[in-house]
Structure 1
Amino acid sequence: MSVLWVLGAGQLGAMLKQAGTPLGIDVRPVDIESTETLPLAPTDIVTAEREEWPETVATKQLATHSNFVNLATFPQLADRLTQKQWLDRLELATAPWFPVESDSTATHAYEMLGDRVLMKRRRGGYDGKGQYWLKQSEGSEIPEDWKGQAIAEQAINFDEEVSLVGVRGKNGDTHFYPLTLNLHINGILYASISPLERLQPLQAKAEQMLSKLMDALDYVGVMAMECFRVGDDLLINELAPRVHNSGHWTQAGASVCQFENHVRAVTGLPLAPAEVKNQSIMVNLIGIDLDYNWLNLQGLELYWYKKEVRLGRKVGHLNFCSGNSSTLQKALEELNLPNPYPEALTWLKKNLPII
């Protein structure tokens, strides 16, 4: 088996390595700042844990390898302008938008999109960063340094935020996990729940949307589609051509997790539909210290990223999977986390179905 190199050595790369080990696949995440000469063989395969990267010694070696899967896709989806253009071209529903040009004005934005407009930097800006609100009631204007560097979107009064994680093989076969319900606080994902029977009526629609996109891009591997649910409609908010935070629950709750599915797909191994084991919830650990007392909670699985703890930084996550709702509710009651976690834990308790 050839080596599978991962451009990027963050937590996603580490979890891809963990998923590849039982399959006998040598997965090697590479720090983008590495200056070493990598022993790349012609038959090796390259994937990435991130949408874009700077030009460094390491990334130049990996990005010029002939077996870099989806290399042409990354720049198209990393730029929100070309990402939106793909959605429009494929007639996939998304929030009304327009590119912020050098001569764009707030007046034009309000005329086109209403009295609340969200500007997003074309590149980067995840976890609530790289965003700027235009509010007509406050007389907001477009900052000069945002012109030509952003898109403007209509503010959507959504009912819920959901995501779909799917995988596509080299032969075009696709498999999907159940829709996941997500809670963001200050633009950062704090908690997820899957599966939910009440989201099942939207599953086929979501799968058709993501399939259409992956087929058009001839994409191979795992992709995540974040959506706003507005009644019975789905509007695509963001796309991630990689394994995704909202799919972390699959590590505990599915027979094949998103990380293994991605490894299988990019290396050409057989894909199979993942069997969902039980009710799952995921809690992101944001800027808080490691506490091994969490391991006392029944049904808990801890993933710690071994990062320096900083405000707003994702440093780990907790997975819970059980066929007993009282077990999950009890774990949430006993999970002691600082603000703003009480909001997230209350949201989880409210949305957990009775099993």
Structure 2
Amino acid sequence: MKRMVLTGGGSAGHVTPHLALIPKLKEMNYDLHYIGTKDGIERTLIEPTGMPYHPIASGKLRRYFDLKNFKDPFKVMAGVGQAYFKLGRIKPDVVFSKGGFVAVPVVIAAKLRGIPVYIHESDITPGLANKISSKFATKVFVTFEEAKKHFPPGQAVVTGSPIRGDLMSGEKKRGLDWLGFSENLPVLTIMGGSLGARKINENVRALLDELTKSFQIVHLCGKGNIDPALEGVKGYRQFEYIQSELPDVIAATDFVISRAGSNSIFEWLTLRKPMLLIPLPLSASRGDQILNAQSFEKQGFCHVLYEEEMTKETLLTAIEKLKKEKLNLKDQMMRYKAGDSVDLILNTITGQK
């Protein structure tokens, strides 16, 4: 039996591709282990799979000045030591990293132990963690063709985004029943990312009276962002995060408002869900979500509303436009032919053709 260590965390986007790979890896009889942070969302998402989970310390990697920048390098060094020890006990044949700050110590420790490392970069431009990790990686899997130029020639392989197979198995009726919704109005699902999005949450809630006239709302608002005053509002359900019921909720979804993280938008594209993307602004990111959204908009897969331009009025107008142009968006999305990213990634790692 071969053994693989998976790593990545900090947000759901650094974990969900693993969830796409895990079932196939189990079919291939791999002994799987996960290394992440003690309290990160990766632990919440991975532990239900039954996989052994090994926590380590890690500091956050920042491109901007912060007093924590003087302390966090020591956390990273501690994480390298812990990961080196854990890898010595696990003895994996390979390490697969999805990125995020927790992955860097694991990747460095794997290199020190001579363990092959493969990483996946979801966005057009690589994050700082994957920029560092790529220096120790055998191969870098990328979602966008445009991303190849950010890595040495021959290192990057375009695979697309691994899509969780269970997302295809949802049932609309089961989703509507679980939500307590009817078939009389379309379902609008709003996702601000696993950590939530304050401005999106505020504007959606300010529009509830208007929106619930035309939609039933599923609001995934992020950890700690539930508004108790809105519990019980007809046609509105709010959740921090949905796990096992997500495939059914997606099957019941007619329209999506989402951040523009690569993993999420490729899932919506694969499932042909008309989407309004509100990418993270430059003030809160390196601009990767803006590039993702612009790429999708150029191909006719979505509409885009920039957070700097978002008000109650502009959001409502954008939602009305999304509903009006549903068929056009679906027609464009039908042109997208999803490859089997999971098989391509795993075949490259295992050396199969």
Give TM-score, length-normalised by structure 1.
0.30
User: Which is helix-richer, 1 or 2?
Assistant: 2
TM-score, with length taken from structure 2: 0.30
